A and B are shown apart, each in its own frame.
Chain A
Amino acid sequence: MKTYHLQPPLSDEDVRQLRIGDRVYLSGTLYTARDAAHKRMIQALDRGEDIPVPLQGAVIYYVGPTPAPEGRPIGAAGPTTSYRMDSFAPRLYSLGLKATMGKGRRNQEVQQALREHGGVYLAATGGAGALLSQCITGARIIAYEDLGPEAVRELTVERFPAIVANDAHGGELYVEPRRSG
Chain B
Amino acid sequence: MHSIQAETIQKQVRDMVVRVSRNLPRDVVAALQRAREEETDEGARQILGELLDNAELARDRDLPLCQDTGVGVFFVEHGEDCRVEGDSINNVLERALAQAYEEGLLRKSMCHPLTRQNTGDNTPALIHTDLVPGSGITIRFMAKGGGSENMSRCTMLTPAQGWEGIKEFVLDRVATAGPNPCPPTIVGVGVGGSFDQAPLLAKKSLFRPLDQEHPDPEIAEMERELLDEINALGIGPMGLGGRTTSLGLRMEMAPCHIASLPLAVNVQCHSSRHEEVVVS
Contact = CB atoms under 8 A, between A and B. Distances in A.
Interface of A: 35-36, 63-69, 75-78, 80-81, 83, 103-105, 123, 125-131, 133-134, 147-149, 163, 173-175, 177-181
Q: Which 4 A-B pairs have the closest CB atoms?
A: A177-B175, A104-B180, A126-B182, A130-B58
B269 A127 contact: yes
Contact of A179 (B51, B54, B171, B240): B171
Given A63-B67, A179-B171, A125 B107 contact: no
Contacts of B271: 127
Contact of A133 (B50, B63, B109, B150): B63
15 contacts: A64-B68, A66-B64, A66-B105, A67-B105, A75-B107, A76-B64, A76-B66, A77-B67, A125-B50, A125-B51, A128-B53, A130-B63, A130-B65, A131-B54, A174-B239
A103 B51 CA distance: 15
Given A127-B54, A148-B118, A174 B175 contact: no
Given A66-B67, A104-B180, A131-B50, 4 more contacts: A123-B238, A177-B174, A177-B175, A178-B234
Nearest to A104: B180
Nearest to B180: A104
Most chain B CB within a 10 A radius of its CB, from A126, A133, A149: A126
A130 B240 contact: no
A180 B105 CA distance: 46
A127 B175 CA distance: 20
Given A69-B105, A123-B238, A174-B239, A81 B147 contact: yes
B219 interface: no
B81 interface: no
A81 B67 CA distance: 12
A85 to B, nearest CB: 13
Contacts of A80: 67-68, 146-147
Contact of B57 (A68, A126, A134, A147): A134
Secondary structure of the A side of the interface?
loop
B4 interface: no
Contacts of B235: 175, 177
A178 B65 contact: no
Contact of A149 (B108, B181, B240): B108
Nearest to A124: B238
Interface in B168-222: 168, 171, 174-175, 178-182
B240 A105 contact: no
Interface string B212-255: 00000000000000000000111110111100000000000000
B257 interface: no
Given A64-B107, A175-B234, A179-B171, A126 B147 contact: yes
A129 B180 contact: no
A128 B64 contact: no
B92 to A, nearest CB: 24
B67 A105 contact: no
A38 to B, nearest CB: 12
A66 B178 contact: no
B106 interface: yes
Nearest to B102: A67
